[in-house]
Chain A
Amino acid sequence: MKDLLEIRWHGRGGQGAKTAAQLLAESALDTGKFIQAFPEYGPERAGAPIRAYTRVSDREINIHSPVTNPDIVVVVDPTLLETVDVADGLDESGILIVNTTETVDSVRRKTKYKKGKVATCDATKISLETLGIPMPNTPMLGALLKIKAVVPIEALEKEVQKKFLKKIGEEKTQLNIKAIKRAFKETKTG
């Protein structure tokens, strides 16, 4: 892993992209990394496209500007492929991970991202089947860890446990962890 790992999250307000960015960072913090996670606030409406960022490093992070050349881009909502240039700044060594029912080839066509790695995961389906609500953010964390072991999946589980238990209770917390694990298994690359 290079010194600084930069991840950009694309989602819509209310889908938990900001929470996902934070969860990943906080899991990494627990494994001894330096971290940064921040959302890019616009009008803050449910449904509006939003960006969030995660930085993970072995060294102190001084930079305080948005990520322009991400190592990884995670797209939490498939409809964003039509409206947002999600592959912007992603070079050939990059990774694009999308919540979609479509194939890797189809994603490549839509995003015009040809050279780097592309992975897909039907996180909405996983979320609906596991949690009963469309919250694709946690499964997308599972998808991300499958493609890039930013942290061990156990570290993420621990963090989800810590963060969610008080807020949504034991049962739903466990279902989120289940969704993460299922997404980890079902993520496809090409």
Chain B
Amino acid sequence: MKRKRSERSERSPKGAQPKAGRTEGKGWKEIPIAGIIDKGGTAREYKTGSWRTFKPVVDKSKCINCLQCWIYCPDSSIVVKDGKMEGFDYDYCKGCGICASVCPVKCIKMEKEAT
């Protein structure tokens, strides 16, 4: 059955921190009831990459493609293609540094985001 869905999650306005106060977002008559999120994949809209203060950078010349970083990354932000580690999805990488920590050859460095 096809149902009318809200266009996007009402509850994650682009991952930005809502303003203090009461004016952000739609009113109670316009949102789905019961706190339901009535569509899938809404986490994609929430760009948590903006939370980063340090970002991971890989030195591919040292990387052995063991994919330990891919296994441990809590945000599914290690980009892998044809079984090889390609880099990071900076839209969602929060810069937690777990990848750098678990890397057996220490080819991932955490660099400061902004000077």
Q: Do chains A and B touch in the complex (CB under 8 A)?
A: no
Which residue numbers of A lie inside 8 Å of B, CB to CB? none
B residues within 8 Å of A by Cβ?
none
